[in-house]
């Protein structure tokens, strides 16, 4: 059987340093936040989601795992966050953009809070995915075009498991 999405494996595609500051946009219950926080031991991960229920589940996981470098915040990413401009080294947007009406706004917010030289990781469902036929697919060409309009440089494209695709953009 083909590999499903493995956050720890995908994170290896980034040049992570243990003192980085990251934001996990659309963190849900922490499937990416927790593995990232374990790598960024001396850094910080802002876990941001619009829904309280998964954030509550994440709070429980954070206590169980004794992770003190995660800050949980509730926000509508299409309306922005309260994070400071140029404050993060890395932004994760995993299984997020397919749910967003205004993908450009979410990418703009990521760029706003990203430090120069920082990266945005986009991972989302591929088209014609048998696991989730009811969702709207992310058009990766559209995401690349939006990123180009925002002066984000495409650094890498890759398959992220059998049902996902990944893009890494850099803020110059």
Residue 8 lies in a domain: no
HSE, CB side, 13 Å, CA atoms: give it for residue 127.
4
Residue 11 lies in a domain: no
Residue 6 lies in a domain: no
Range of the domain at 138: 18-171
Residue 10 lies in a domain: no
pLDDT above 90 for 56: yes
Q: What pLDDT digit, counting tens, does each position of 15-34 carry? A: 999 999 999 999 999 999 99
Residue 31 lies in a domain: yes
Q: Is 68 helix (H, G, I), strand (E, B) or coil?
A: coil
91: nearest Cα among 115, 110, 73, 70: 110
Q: What is the dihedral of CA 55, 59, 65, 70, to 10 degrees?
A: 80
pLDDT value of position 3: 75
Q: Which two tokens stand for residue 104?
A: 């450009």
Residue 105 lies in a domain: yes
Q: Where are the alpha helices (DSSP H) in the chain?
A: 7-11, 33-39, 52-65, 103-113, 140-149
**CATH number, domain with residue 104:** 3.40.50.150
Number of domains in the chain: 1
Instruction: Report residue 98: phi and psi, to 5°.
Output: -65, -20
Residue 7 lies in a domain: no
Is this structure's pTM higher than 0.85? yes
pLDDT value of position 161: 85
Three-state SS annotation for 42-64: CCEEEEEECCHHHHHHHHHHHHH
Q: What confidence category does residue 57 fall into, taking pLDDT thresholds of 50, 70 and 90?
A: very high
Residue 5 lies in a domain: no
pLDDT value of position 115: 98
**Cβ partners under 8 Å of residue 16, min gap 6:** 36, 39, 40, 90
pLDDT value of position 1: 38
């Amino acid at each position: 059987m083909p590999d499903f999405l493995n956050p720890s494996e995908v994170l290896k595609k980034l040049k992570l340093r243990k003192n980085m500051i990251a934001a996990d946009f659309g963190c849900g219950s922490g499937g990416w936040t927790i593995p990232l926080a374990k790598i960024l031991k001396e850094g910080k991960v802002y876990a941001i989601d619009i829904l309280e229920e998964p954030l509550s589940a994440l709070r429980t996981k954070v206590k169980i795992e004794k992770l003190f470098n995660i800050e949980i915040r509730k926000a509508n990413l299409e309306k922005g966050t309260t994070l400071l401009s140029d404050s993060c080294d890395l932004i994760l947007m995993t299984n997020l953009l397919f749910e967003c009406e205004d993908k450009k706004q979410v990418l703009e917010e990521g760029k706003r809070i990203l430090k120069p030289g920082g990266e945005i990781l986009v991972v989302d469902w591929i088209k014609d995915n048998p696991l989730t036929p009811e969702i709207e697919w992310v058009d990766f060409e559209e995401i690349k075009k939006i990123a180009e309009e925002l002066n984000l440089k495409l650094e890498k494209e890759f398959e992220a498991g059998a049902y996902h695709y990944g893009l890494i953009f850099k803020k110059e």
